């Protein structure tokens, strides 16, 4: 099956494609179903997977028999761990980022397509939901967390930034929580994702198959099905630190945040010391990028404008030294010793950040799907 162009079968229920496919696309009666199926990579997205999902959504958008869409994963412990980082690093090192930019461009088209899709989409964030997984779940009207959810945008640790719409979603969280998540890459469990507003519902894992079956049976009642009593989620642990997050991450200047945490750490605040040390492992360049990204995103009127901005950033950051080095240290060699360039926040100039955010030539700018 050519996943770049193939349309999903429309029989109800349809037969699933071969299990070797990285994404399984089928229909169950009035519901289109997309199941990520790359378990050894925690269902990280490839360009072919993005194209397959876009093709299915384009067909279902025009099919009056399809009333809703479900996005989940077929097997394994992750919903979606992100994008194909090895592919992107190879592009940065070997083709000056050309194929990597193509990946970002088309992935962002999928993100925008999900955001503007007129039929309800339910994303089941059951497991690791990071990076690209955030990009395909947050645009959905219904975002279901479970006790297995591990939500994070950890990109600053590998010299990237919270893209795939991260600027839009994180900048709209209250209490500077978005800035905290963008800089630290902190992982939220399902209850915390619900508390933060990143999930719309919390459902125990053992009830998911029943919930999906009921949605397939009555797609017009998704909200009611998800809202029926399923037990009380655990307390959101991050709530206990909400005031500290709002205080110490209040500034859009990275140096101010570090100074605030440093002062509190000197006064004996263990939480502040931990977060200060965490930020010390991140790329100073992309921490500054993320803060400006969220500051701009919060004022943008449309998601398309946000994605245009993020594509400009991605096009530049991909070939900056920190990305290939960050992936080497964290993912390839697993040494945890990235040599950032520039090495300190003070050496990351406003002029450098301006260059990263500057418009691209008109014929290279990001555009949504027609």
Q: Where are the alpha helices (DSSP H) in 96-241?
A: 98-116, 132-137, 166-171, 177-184, 190-196, 208-217, 222-227
Catalytic annotation present for 197: no
Residue 37 lies in domain: 23-364
Count of domains observed in the chain: 1
Q: Known catalytic residue: 305?
A: no
In whole angstroms, give the CA distance from residue 61 to residue 280.
46
- Tell me the per-residue pLDDT of 283-322, one tens digit each, with 9 for 90 and over: 999 999 999 999 999 999 999 999 999 999 999 999 999 9
CA 362 to chain centre: 27
Summarised one tens digit per residue, pLDDT across range 108-118 is 999 999 999 99
346 has catalytic annotation:
no
The pLDDT score that the predictor gives to residue 77 is 82
Query: Is 82 an annotated catalytic residue?
Result: no
Q: Which tens digit of pLDDT belongs to each residue from 15-56?
A: 443 334 899 999 999 999 999 999 999 999 999 999 999 999
Q: Is residue 147 part of a domain?
A: yes
Q: Is residue 352 part of a domain?
A: yes
Sequence-ordered list of residues with C-beta below 8 angstroms from that of 196, at least 6 positions apart, any chain: 173, 177, 188, 236, 238
Among the options 21, 67, 163, 325, which is catalytic?
A: 163
Catalytic residue among 32, 78, 82, 83: 83
Instruction: Note whether residue 176 is domain-resident.
Output: yes
Residue 272 is part of a domain; what is its CATH number?
3.90.226.10
pTM of the model: 0.93
In a domain, 269, yes or no: yes
Q: Pick the catalytic residue: 78, 82, 97, 132?
A: 132
With H, G, I as helix, E, B as strand and everything else as coil, classify residue 310.
helix
- Of 17 and 61, the one with more pLDDT: 61
Report yes or no on 162 lying in a domain.
Answer: yes
Asked if residue 10 belongs to a domain, the reply is: no
Q: Is residue 47 part of a domain?
A: yes
Of residues 185, 137, 140, 138, the one with CA closest to residue 161: 185
- The encoded tokens of residue 86 equal 């090895």
Q: Which of 155, 192, 310, 322 is catalytic?
A: 155
Question: What pLDDT does residue 17 have?
Answer: 38
Would residue 3 count as lying in a domain?
A: no
């Amino acid at each position: 099956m050519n996943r770049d162009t193939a349309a999903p079968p429309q029989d109800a229920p349809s037969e699933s494609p071969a299990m070797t496919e990285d994404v399984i696309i089928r229909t169950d009666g009035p519901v289109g179903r997309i199941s990520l199926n790359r378990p050894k990579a925690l269902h990280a997205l490839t360009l072919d997977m993005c194209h397959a999902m876009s093709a299915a959504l384009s067909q279902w958008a025009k099919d009056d028999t399809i009333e809703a869409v479900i996005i989940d994963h077929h097997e394994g412990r992750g919903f979606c761990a992100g994008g194909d980082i090895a592919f992107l690093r190879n592009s940065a090192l070997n083709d000056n980022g050309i194929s990597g930019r193509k990946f970002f461009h088309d992935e962002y088209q999928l993100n925008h397509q999900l955001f503007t899709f007129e039929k309800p989409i339910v994303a089941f964030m059951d497991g690791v939901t990071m990076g690209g997984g955030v990009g395909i779940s947050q645009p959905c009207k219904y975002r279901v967390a479970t006790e297995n959810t591990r939500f994070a945008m950890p990109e600053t640790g590998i010299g990237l930034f919270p893209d795939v719409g991260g600027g839009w979603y994180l900048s709209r969280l209250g209490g500077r929580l978005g800035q905290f998540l963008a800089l630290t890459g902190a992982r939220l469990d399902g209850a915390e994702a619900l508390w933060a507003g990143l999930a719309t519902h919390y459902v125990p894992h053992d009830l998911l198959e029943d919930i999906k079956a009921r949605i397939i049976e009555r797609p017009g009642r998704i909200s009611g099905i998800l809202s029926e009593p399923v037990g009380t989620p655990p307390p959101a642990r991050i709530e206990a630190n909400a005031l500290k997050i709002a205080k110490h991450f209040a500034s859009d200047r990275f140096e101010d945040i570090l100074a605030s945490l440093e002062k509190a750490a000197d006064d004996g605040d263990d939480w502040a010391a931990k977060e200060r040390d965490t930020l010390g492992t991140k790329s100073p360049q992309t921490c500054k990028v993320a803060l400006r990204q969220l500051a701009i995103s919060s004022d943008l009127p449309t998601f398309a404008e946000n994605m245009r901005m993020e594509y400009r950033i991605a096009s530049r950051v991909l070939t900056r030294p920190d990305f290939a080095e960050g992936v080497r240290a964290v993912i390839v060699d697993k040494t945890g010793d990235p040599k950032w360039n520039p090495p300190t926040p003070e050496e990351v100039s406003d002029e450098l950040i301006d260059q990263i955010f500057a418009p691209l030539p008109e014929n290279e700018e990001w555009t949504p799907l027609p």
